């Protein structure tokens, strides 16, 4: 996300004095609620969905995630790259390629 978009999210929250409600617990709940609304877009069909509605719900999730990053003083690039390093170690290409198996099942799935 570019800095202009991040600044817009921050300004939106500040202009409404909503930061007072942005505890980590409240933001985590909001992310989960919005993620459920995103999932609802696919409730009855995996392929027949309204892309505009999906986009709106996904945006809500992303905005709340940015709010949580700010509240916790986290950097999105730093935490995503740290998690990707862990994922790459847990899911080596030679074991995980083309497999939906969980990391602790990969070796057995390839045997």
Q: What tens digit of pLDDT does each residue of 18-39 get? A: 999 999 999 999 999 999 999 9
pLDDT for position 107: 78
Pair 4, 50 in one domain: yes
Cβ-Cβ contacts under 8 Å for 76 (sequence gap 6 or more): 1, 66, 69
Pair 58, 94 in one domain: no
Per the listing, tokens 């995630």 go with: 65
Pair 8, 59 in one domain: yes
pLDDT for position 84: 98
Pair 55, 102 in one domain: no
Tell me how many domains the chain contains.
2
pLDDT for position 81: 98
Pair 57, 79 in one domain: no
Pair 36, 16 in one domain: yes
pLDDT for position 111: 63
Pair 5, 54 in one domain: yes
Residues in the chain where the model's pLDDT stays below 50? none
24 close to 68: Cβ distance less than 8 angstroms: yes
């Amino acid at each position: 996300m570019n800095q202009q978009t991040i600044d817009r999210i921050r300004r939106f929250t500040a202009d409404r004095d909503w930061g007072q409600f942005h505890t980590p617990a409240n933001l985590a709940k909001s992310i989960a609620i919005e993620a459920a609304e995103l999932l609802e877009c696919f409730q009855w069909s995996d392929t027949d969905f309204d892309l505009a509605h999906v986009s709106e719900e996904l945006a809500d999730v992303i905005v709340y995630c940015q709010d949580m990053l700010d509240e916790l003083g986290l950097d999105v690039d730093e935490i995503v790259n740290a998690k990707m390093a862990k994922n790459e170690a847990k899911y080596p290409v030679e074991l995980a390629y083309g497999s939906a198996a969980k990391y602790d099942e990969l070796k057995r799935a390839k045997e």
